[in-house]
Chain A
Amino acid sequence: MIIVASIAIFVTMALALLRGLLGPTVYDRVLAMNMFGTKTVLLLASVAFLYGRSDFLDLALAYALINFIGVQAVLAFVQKAAGAGEES
């Protein structure tokens, strides 16, 4: 049963990557990266159970904590570019 969930998560990762490649605006790519990150956390948790190695859950926990820093950085730094763009 965990294999079913893992395969579904893999397919969704591929779909998110496709959006990352296609996305006309750059924010589609940021969305793809964020979605990829959450799917990675789920994949790490599922495969940790699949392999029977429960200490691998530490990786999923670490990544769940760090995932959203990237999107916050996009918000913070893009505001600079947007602000500069409006002034020029």
Chain B
Amino acid sequence: MLGRLEQLTNIYGVSGDEGRVRKYLKGALDDMGLAHKTDAMGNLIVHKAGKGRRVMVCAHMDEVGMIVRGVLENGLLAYEAAGLDPRVVISKRVAVGRDDVPGVIGAKAIHLQNREEFKRALAHDELYVDIGAKDRADALKYVKPGDRICFTTKFERLGEDIVKAKALDDRVGCAILLELLKNDYECDLWAVFTVQEELGLRGAKAAVWTAAPDVALVLEGTTANDMPKAKEHEYVTRMGHGPAVTFMDGGTVARPRMFKALQQTAKEAGIPYQFRQGSRGGTDGGAINKALDGCVVGGISVGCRYIHSPASLASVSDIQNAYLLAHAFLQTKKFDEVL
């Protein structure tokens, strides 16, 4: 699973342009002998038909990134971002478009700034991507408006238990889902690798029509804010303390039975877990729970430090335990106990 995670996090797949992630996953599914379908929005759907409860398990393929809005006369690219604080994009390397044209997002050198400028954070529309073009015509030989811009951070292990990569949110979920698909569960399973979660749960909004689940599990990367200046009650999750179980977020309030069932599953199987101690933030669950005639949604998340930035961290044991928790939930048919 870690090998898959490495490959997955290195792929460029900004919201709306998930093709390469999808291609990789299709290859993996083909190797596993599993049939799959891609819907009109690009969601990758695996239906393992079975008797019993309709259960959807999902993870999103897209990562936060940027899009080229236009090319300036001087050859620099104006861009737009979704889900990215402008302060984390400065001084980073990127790849632009399907040809992975190398670029950088620079900023005015400190030497040239005055005191006021030094204190003020720059906004996205004051920043540009530089691919080394001479002028507009030159730039347009290599890139065009609409091309996605992706960070190029490479996966690495840091120490015993930590991985560093881009897009841990939510390639960890994708890696876990792929692993779950190796097993057979006693339900009608709809595994969905969704698109465009970062733009407002868009893929899930579509996929839920097809899966029409009664119960769903959402596998996500979430905030770990366990940093020195943060107050303990603002950590949300702590890295290394186990997968986080959601009681409430910006789009769902966990049904009491589901919240209990997830905890019960962890206790029975001896899996360490923590609570996602926050009430905001969104996941695909927010689209799924109120779609059609409703669905009971459970959230299992892996805490990621520096989420939504080019380089985030997560704990390998958290990822493995998240898989074990999701697996145990499905294996012990807890989905029958939450309705």
Q: Do A and B bind each other?
A: no
A residues near B, CB below 8 A?
A: none
